[in-house]
Chains A and B, each alone.
Chain A
Amino acid sequence: MRRTFQIAGMGLSGLLVNWGRTILTMLGIVIGVAAVVLLASLGNGIQKSISGQINDLGPNLITISPGTSGEQDGGDNGPFGAAAASTLTPEDARLVAGLPGVAAASSNVSTVAPVGQRTVSFSGVDPSYDEVRAVGLTAGRFVEGRGEIVLSQADARRLLDSGPDEAVGKTLSVGTPPEEVPERDPEQGSAQGPEQLPEQLPEGVPERLREQVSERLPQDAAPEQAQEPTQEPASEPVRKYEVVGVVEASEVEFGPPVPESSYMSTADALEIAGVETVGQIVVQAERAGAVDWAVDGIGREVRAAHDGARDFSVITQRELLSTFTEITDQLKIFLAGIAGISLLVGGIGVMNIMLVSVAERTREIGVRKALGATNADVLFQFLLEAVLLSLIGGVIGVAVGIAGSAVLPEILTDLPPAVVTANEVALAFGVSALIGVVFGVLPAYRSARLQPVEALRRE
């Protein structure tokens, strides 16, 4: 026992004395472990961020969009079924709001309207929209009727040059004479409406691809993006609107900042847009368990109201989430692949250095054996060294990986905050430690078994 202790002490001092070799060996482990921890954490962060954003919509959210989805329709609309103009009306929203299992429902119609010299995008919604989506106001109250608007913070600053509290109670003129038709706001690119997308596909695109595109359309028509085509806003007369509230600035988790919407009543938005159908209807189920029930009711009742035409699709937040989870799972597999390769490369580096280190120490092994070291003594020393190198290297690697996970999203602001999980850390640590120990000890075992005279002969 005492011998073991003395040999361990000697092994440790050997690591310190040969610090150059020690650091070099550790470097491979550090890089391998750090890469795995960093990439895995980034992948987790992206997944968490996306599912978090979708969850922010509320678990009970149901979205009714015009057109049919490939999964839900009977195929009678053909591949271009989704291209049909919107058929949803404010009456549908009122009908849905009264269905069992539904807590609240609101139309949502997007439009752009000129305000003075500027163009503002508005979501035309019902008063119940605040119940469905929990808009979050920093000042004032939500739109309760015609002639009222709620501004985003950006719009409040742009139009009134004032903070949220000062903006409430101010009056704005919305709508301009025809000759001052403003260009469409570039951020309103989706105002072209999903129904135009298939026509934008170049000639010669295979039918199959077109079908795929049209199948994806209901997903493209996710709540924030589904827009009603804007039509001739300039033909509207100028009207006075009272600012009744200002939206809370949202915390954008990653990606380009999403512009906050400004709100007005559905009726005003329909009037400005010059249309009678809404872009979508958002529905809040009473509770998570009532979602399926509500979806059934919506499908049945709205279809009946549309004279039996299934010209709309119903997407639950859960379906949306599972779609995105599929995507992020693939992303995570991809990142895990890269991390695995890093670990492999790191492992080969460790292996290489360990092999070289042991090879050039064969003579040392011979000397030690001539001086009375047993095979077990030699092996013990190399095992101790390999374990220590792997442990310290692993700890440093984990630290570097975690530090990188914290720093990288700060530098690359498009990245969501990374999420470090114990599983990946343990895996990276374990694999590199295993590689370090195996390749530190295996060649040492071979050398230790040589007759000392053999080992001494090696240069």
Chain B
Amino acid sequence: MKVIEARELTKVYGRGEGRVEALAGVSLDVEPGEWVSVVGPSGSGKSTLMNLLGLLDRPTSGNYALDGREVSGLRGGDLARARRELIGFVFQSYNLLPRQSARKNVELPLVYAGTRGAERRKRALAALEQVELSDRAGHRPPELSGGQKQRVAIARALVSRPAMLLADEPTGNLDTKSGEGILDLFGELNATGVTLIVVTHDPEVARRGDRIVDIRDGLVFADERSRGLEVGE
């Protein structure tokens, strides 16, 4: 069973004169355990694709099955449920709650899943362990470096054991060294079977994935195995 099975996804903003077709019909399959990089120049529609794949926005048309479940027609509570059960988000600007500790931030998805406090704490600490930040569990985001913040965000994405991790320019706000650290962490997670979709405009970052999907003008321009993979294996 595929993690992602998207058929002819389109997204149109506005009407009439101001009508913009951000996605003109994108089909994409992702197998479990794959690391897919989505690249493309700004305005190509890659962010729109990422929002659709992450269920943050609804497609204008097309079908989308996530982890074997058709999700393109979901609304309201069902959509929120699919989001928290199937997808872990990693944002460029981390999007942590600044006044809550790292552990509380990681617990957040579990709160919405209704997990009890003790269990929540245990799983949050385990997720922080996975990103090697156990010693920072009580720190609040302003007390952490950019790389550490992004690790907290990754722990938060992992904690609900989603079908895939969806990362939007995860190294965009980081220096090269911290960025490398995050990509290494992605590598480790991917090695344990975590499916990764990484949206980036940075070829260096893209090359770390198994596959590079190049989006141009709202369409898949190229979809090929990454050379990085050949080097790595």
Residue contact B95 to A367, C-beta cutoff 8 Å: yes
Task: Let me know if B91 and A456 touch, CB within 8 A.
Answer: yes
B20 within 8 A of A: no
Asked if A434 is at the interface (CB within 8 A of a chain B CB), the reply is: no
Residue-by-residue, is B107-119 near A (CB-CB < 8 Å gives 1, otherwise 0)? 0110111111100
Tell me if B51 is interfacial: C-beta within 8 Å of chain A.
yes
The reply to whether A17 and B99 contact each other, CB–CB distance below 8 Å, is yes
When the two chains form the complex, which single residue of B100, B120, B156 contacts A371, counting CB atoms closer than 8 Å?
B156
What 0/1 pattern do residues 367 to 385 of A give for CB contact below 8 A with B?
A: 1111111111100000000
- CB of A371 to closest CB in B, whole Å: 5
Complex contact B84–A372 (CB within 8 A): yes
A339: min CB distance to chain B, Å: 36
- Answer whether residue B56 sits at the interface, using C-beta atoms and an 8 A cutoff: yes
Known contacts A2-B114, A371-B112, A371-B156; A456 and B95 CB within 8 A of each other: yes
Indicate if B80 sits at the interface (CB-CB under 8 A). yes
Contact B56 A370 (CB under 8 A): yes
Residues of B within 8 A of A208 (CB): none
Residues of the B chain whose Cβ atoms lie less than 8 Å from the Cβ of A3: 111-114
Q: Is B83 an interface residue (CB 8 A)?
A: yes
CA distance A377 to B91 in the complex (A): 22
Beyond A452-B56, A453-B56, whether A371 also contacts B76 by CB under 8 A is: no
Task: Let me know if A117 is at the binding interface, CB within 8 A.
Answer: no
Interface size class of A (residues with CB under 8 A): 20 to 34
Any B CB within 8 A of the CB of A200: no
Contact, CB under 8 Å: A371 / B116 = no
Q: Which of A435-459 contact B (CB under 8 A)?
A: 451-453, 456
Cβ < 8 Å to B, chain A residues 416-450 = none
Question: Which residues on A sit within 8 Å (CB–CB) of B81?
Answer: 372, 374
B171 at interface (Cβ–Cβ under 8 A)? no
Q: Which residues between 367 and 422 of chain A lie within 8 Å of chain B, taking CB atoms?
A: 367-377
Contact A375 B76 (CB under 8 A): yes
Q: Judge whether A9 is part of the interface by a CB distance below 8 angstroms.
A: yes
In this assembly, does B58 line the interface, its C-beta being within 8 Å of a C-beta of chain A? yes
Contact B80 A369 (CB under 8 A): yes
A374 adjacent to B89 (CB under 8 Å): no
Known: A363-B95, A367-B95, A371-B89. A377 touches B112 (CB 8 A): yes
The answer to the question of A10 belonging to the interface, with a C-beta cut-off of 8 Å to chain B, is yes
Q: Residues of B contacting A321 with CB < 8 Å?
A: none
Is residue B57 within 8 Å, beta carbon to beta carbon, of the partner chain? yes
List residues of B (81-109) whose CB comes within 8 Å of A's CBs: 81, 83-85, 89, 91, 95, 97, 99-100, 104, 108-109
**A6/B156 in contact, CB under 8 A:** no
| A451 closest partner in B (C-beta) | B57
What chain B residues lie within 8 Å of A10 (beta carbons)? 108, 111
B16 close to chain A: CB less than 8 A:
no
Interface: A286 (CB within 8 A): no
Separation of A363 and B91 alpha carbons in the complex (Å): 12
Q: How far is the CB of A50 from chain B (nearest CB, A)?
A: 53
Contact B84 A2 (CB under 8 A): no
Say yes or no: B100 contacts A372, CB within 8 Å.
no
| A18 surroundings in chain B (CB, below 8 A) | 99
Q: A363 vs B54: C-alpha distance in the bound complex, in angstroms? A: 17
- Whether, in the assembled complex, B200 has its beta carbon less than 8 Å from a beta carbon of chain A, the answer is no
Q: Does B232 contact A (CB under 8 A)?
A: no
Known A370-B89, A451-B58; contact A6-B111, beta-carbon cutoff 8 A: yes
- Besides A6-B111, A369-B80, 5 more A-B contacts (Cβ < 8 Å) are A18-B99, A372-B83, A374-B80, A453-B57, A456-B95
- 16 A-B pairs within 8 Å (CB atoms) are namely A3-B111, A6-B120, A7-B112, A10-B108, A17-B100, A370-B54, A370-B89, A371-B83, A371-B109, A373-B112, A375-B76, A375-B80, A377-B80, A377-B112, A452-B57, A456-B95
Which residues of A approach B to under 8 Å, CB–CB? 2-3, 6-7, 9-10, 13-14, 17-18, 363-364, 366-377, 451-453, 456
